[in-house]
Amino acid sequence: MTETLDIKITKTQHSRLNETDFNNLQFGKTFSDHMFLADYANGEWKNFQVVPYGEIGLSPAIAALHYGQAFFEGIKAYKHADGQVSVFRPEKNAARFNKSAARLCMPALPEEIFLQSIAAVVDIDREWIPSKPNHSLYIRPFMFATDAYLGVQPSETYKYMVLIGPVGPYFSKTLRVKIETYYTRAAEGGMGFAKSAGNYGGAMLPARKATEEGFDQLIWTDAKEHRYVEEMGAANVMFVLDGTLITPSTRDTILEGVTRDTVLTLAREWGMPVEERRVSVAEILEGAKNGKLTDAFGAGTAATIAPVGSISHDGEEYFLIDPKEREFSQKVLRELDAIKYGRVADTHGWNYLV
């Protein structure tokens, strides 16, 4: 039997729920009334708390600010028609959370602490979960080093937190993407498979340059030759090429996406040919030219299923068919939504009920 955490709960004296415009939710800018905190020191996790959302006091010398020991996860909770609340596949995020921790020389967080911390704060703020279609509660667990010491070595103390807030769709349009052939997101032997804060900091300049050129997202390529597709800026990338679902195989430069795994699982159950392998830029461009590339989309927690409308490479843009006419991505999006919102039976046990 799993031991229940001793969580100290301090509720807010002033809820912001009625002050929040749920018809105008910008992703990641609205937070609920409460957050979760825990501390790591002397080899153990302790001080489990749910407190009102707000600022926390930190030394300006903490290791996270100077040496980058910080990482996060992204999860969503959904409200079902019968009022039940479910978090989608948090056990997968718990496993990836600890892979990130290990790569950054940070302590593991037991799965039960991860799950119970999320359940505690989601339960208290369940009224913040939107009921509108394509809306959900975004959950951001994260950990950072707190030693106040200016020395290049792993911290001995850490803080773990969970923030939550209501969100609408991450992308509201079909994406115009560019294949990146100069900048690099991750190199072999690096930490591209971890959700390290530094990975995202390094991606901001090329992403901004792409935005200035009129693109919505980048498709990153391998660091050595820029010949192979890796992932998009906000999601794993998937293609339907000549009737086969193709996606880059996970390696130390690519995140093991939870949505990616879910899509692959459903595709195999439906009898669709699936290939996880190195995917060359050349074959994607050739498929776009000859019409064999019939679908392309990003798959991620924030993005869900984000259709790609065009792919640009070396100044040439290749347009794909209208997303509404794409059989696979439309089908998988409908199925994902049906499972997450409790409209069909959860035969895989993916919904963690709070």
Range of the domain at 129: 8-168
Quick one: the chain helix, strand, coil %, rounded to 5?
25, 30, 40
Q: Is the pLDDT of residue 1 over 50?
A: no
Structural domains counted in the chain:
2
Residue 350 lies in a domain: no
Q: Each residue of 228-269: pLDDT tens digit?
A: 999 998 899 999 999 999 999 999 999 999 999 999 999 999
DSSP string, 286-329: HHHHHT-EEEEEEEETTTEEEEEEEEEETTEEEE---GGG-HHH
Residue 162 lies in a domain: yes
The number of residues in the chain equals 354
Q: Each residue of 268-324: pLDDT tens digit?
A: 999 999 999 999 999 999 999 999 999 999 999 988 999 999 999 999 999 999 999
Residue 90 lies in a domain: yes
Write the DSSP symbol of residue 110.
Answer: -
Amino acid symbol at 13? Q
DSSP string, 39-59: EEETTEEEEEEEEES------
Residue 260 and residue 293 share a domain: yes
Residue 203 and residue 96 share a domain: no
Residue 183 and residue 324 share a domain: yes
Residue 164 and residue 179 share a domain: no
From residue 79, alpha-carbon distances to 16, 342, 351, 354 in Å are 20, 8, 11, 10
Residue 312 and residue 195 share a domain: yes
Q: What's the CATH number where 194 sits?
A: 3.20.10.10
The tokens for 90 are 């948090």
Q: What's the CATH number where 127 sits?
A: 3.30.470.10
In this structure, of 170-174, 185-189, 350-354, the range with the lowest mean pLDDT score is 170-174
Which pLDDT value is given to residue 169?
Answer: 86
CA-based radius of gyration for the chain: 21
The beta strands (E) that lie in the chain are given as: 8-9, 34-41, 44-52, 70-72, 75-79, 85-88, 136-145, 158-167, 175-179, 217-221, 228-232, 236-241, 244-248, 274-277, 279-280, 293-300, 304-313, 316-319, 351-353
Nearest to 139 by CA among 31, 63, 37, 227: 31
Q: Each residue of 20-67: pLDDT tens digit?
A: 999 999 899 999 999 999 999 999 999 999 999 999 999 999 999 999
Residue 353 lies in a domain: no
Residue 271 and residue 128 share a domain: no
- Report the Cα 151 to chain-centroid distance in Å: 31
Residue 261 and residue 132 share a domain: no
Residue 316 and residue 199 share a domain: yes
Residue 161 and residue 52 share a domain: yes
Residue 202 and residue 292 share a domain: yes
Nearest to 255 by CA among 199, 175, 210, 201: 199
pTM score: 0.95
